[in-house]
């Protein structure tokens, strides 16, 4: 049966691959900033505390995979800024029960019963929230669009046919001649806006500051990249990661329509240095010694260097007061 490519993508990634738990790092198909070590979470902990100030807030991670990033953030807060901990609640939003089990185990192994982290299938009402989303939006289902044509999938083969009027209108609105058109940004932004009286969303994801008119869809298997048009998709379907560059223009527009605005849009390397990454490395040295400082400095290089993760990922920081 022929289906729109977005349905095929959704089935592949979100109903099979992530639902069965996708390991990251050396043993998985891909790396994220979390794979490098705990420093990424410690840097975010510093920034979160700066945003919280003297108020109470809920720290939310959406798309937490194993739960390690939330644990790194919590560890950073309790180790370096413990006075903030009593004003914070911690929530992971995870729709997949299999991943919720993995996250509960990770939190238990890291903290036992000492730290409470609520794990929810959907975002609860949470007043003021600081939300972290690391590589979330590249998992939203997308259509493939090419000059008035859109992709359909049948028996793991992709073909193009005239695009629907809705997709053509979206392409026209955002000046897309060729590329991925993500779905679901508007609904996601409305949900965040409805559930959180005030929020800051720190979204790190694949992409470029200026979008290019080309397909960026790619498959990761054991840290190798495959171009979908050159492989048998049936060999990878549901067993390997599939991703694409996030359309940040569309993400921005979705949140602006929901009453939020962009606080910062920058390459990951720039953003982490703005968040005080250098100070965090020195703080680690003060608390744990010179070898720990050197390890943190090596992690920082991977996170910020252009040839590593510094330019491959962007931060879009969105918020509403």
Helices (H), the chain: 5-10, 39-52, 68-80, 97-111, 165-173, 185-195, 248-257, 268-274, 277-288, 290-304
Residues 93 and 148 in one domain: no
Residues 230 and 83 in one domain: no
Residue 261 is assigned to a structural domain of this protein: yes
| Helix or strand holding residue 261 (H, E) | strand 261-267
Q: What is the domain extent for residue 219?
A: 1-23+142-182+209-240
Residue 64 is assigned to a structural domain of this protein: yes
Residues 262 and 198 in one domain: yes
Residues 14 and 78 in one domain: no
Residues 117 and 232 in one domain: no
Residues 152 and 224 in one domain: yes
Nearest Cα neighbor of 40 from 8, 69, 6, 5 is 69
pLDDT of residue 22: 57
Instruction: Give every CB contact of residue 299 below 8 A, 6+ residues apart in sequence.
Output: 36, 37, 38, 39, 40
Residue 83 is assigned to a structural domain of this protein: yes
Residue where one domain finishes, among candidates 196, 220, 240: 240
pLDDT of residue 33: 78
Helices 68-80 + 277-288 axis angle, to 10: 70
Instruction: Give the CATH number, domain containing residue 53.
Output: 3.40.50.12710
Residue 271 is assigned to a structural domain of this protein: yes
pLDDT of residue 21: 64
Q: How many domains does the chain contain in total?
A: 2
Nearest Cα neighbor of 10 from 235, 250, 182, 227 is 182
Low-confidence ranges of the chain (pLDDT < 70): 21-32
Per residue in 174-233, pLDDT (tens digit) is 999 999 999 999 999 999 999 999 999 999 999 998 989 999 999 998 878 999 999 999
Residues 233 and 146 in one domain: yes
Residues 214 and 197 in one domain: no
Residues 9 and 109 in one domain: no
Residues 39 and 147 in one domain: no
Residues 86 and 191 in one domain: yes
β pairing state of 261-267 and 313-320: antiparallel
Residues 99 and 130 in one domain: yes
Residue where one domain finishes, among candidates 225, 240, 255: 240
């Amino acid at each position: 049966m022929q289906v729109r490519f977005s349905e095929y993508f959704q089935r592949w990634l979100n109903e099979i691959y992530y639902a069965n738990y996708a390991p990251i790092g050396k043993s998985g198909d891909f790396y994220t900033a979390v794979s490098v070590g705990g420093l990424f979470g410690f840097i975010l902990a510093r920034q979160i505390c700066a945003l919280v100030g003297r108020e109470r807030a809920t720290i939310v991670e959406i798309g937490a995979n194993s739960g390690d990033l939330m644990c790194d953030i919590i560890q950073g807060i309790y180790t370096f800024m413990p006075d903030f901990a009593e004003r914070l609640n911690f929530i992971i939003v995870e729709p997949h029960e299999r991943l919720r089990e993995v996250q509960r185990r990770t939190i238990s192994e890291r903290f036992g019963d000492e730290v409470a982290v609520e794990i929810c299938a959907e975002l609860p009402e949470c007043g003021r929230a600081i939300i972290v989303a690391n590589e979330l939006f590249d998992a939203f289902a997308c259509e493939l669009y090419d000059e008035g044509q859109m992709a359909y999938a049948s028996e793991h083969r992709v073909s193009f046919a005239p695009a629907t009027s809705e997709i053509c209108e979206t392409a026209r609105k955002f000046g897309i001649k060729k590329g991925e058109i993500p779905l679901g940004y508007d609904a996601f932004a409305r949900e965040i806006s409805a559930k959180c009286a005030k929020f800051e969303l720190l979204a790190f994801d694949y992409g470029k500051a200026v979008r290019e008119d080309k397909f960026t869809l790619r498959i990761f298997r054991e840290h190798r990249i495959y171009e979908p048009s050159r492989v048998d998709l049936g060999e990878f379907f549901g067993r390997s990661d599939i991703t694409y560059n996030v359309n940040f223009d569309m993400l921005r527009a979705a949140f602006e329509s929901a009453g939020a605005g962009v606080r910062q849009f920058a390459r990951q390397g720039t953003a982490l240095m703005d968040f005080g990454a250098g100070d965090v490395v020195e703080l680690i040295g003060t608390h744990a010694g010179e070898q720990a400082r050197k390890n943190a400095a090596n992690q920082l290089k991977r996170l910020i260097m252009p040839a590593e993760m510094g330019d491959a990922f962007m931060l879009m920081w969105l918020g509403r007061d």
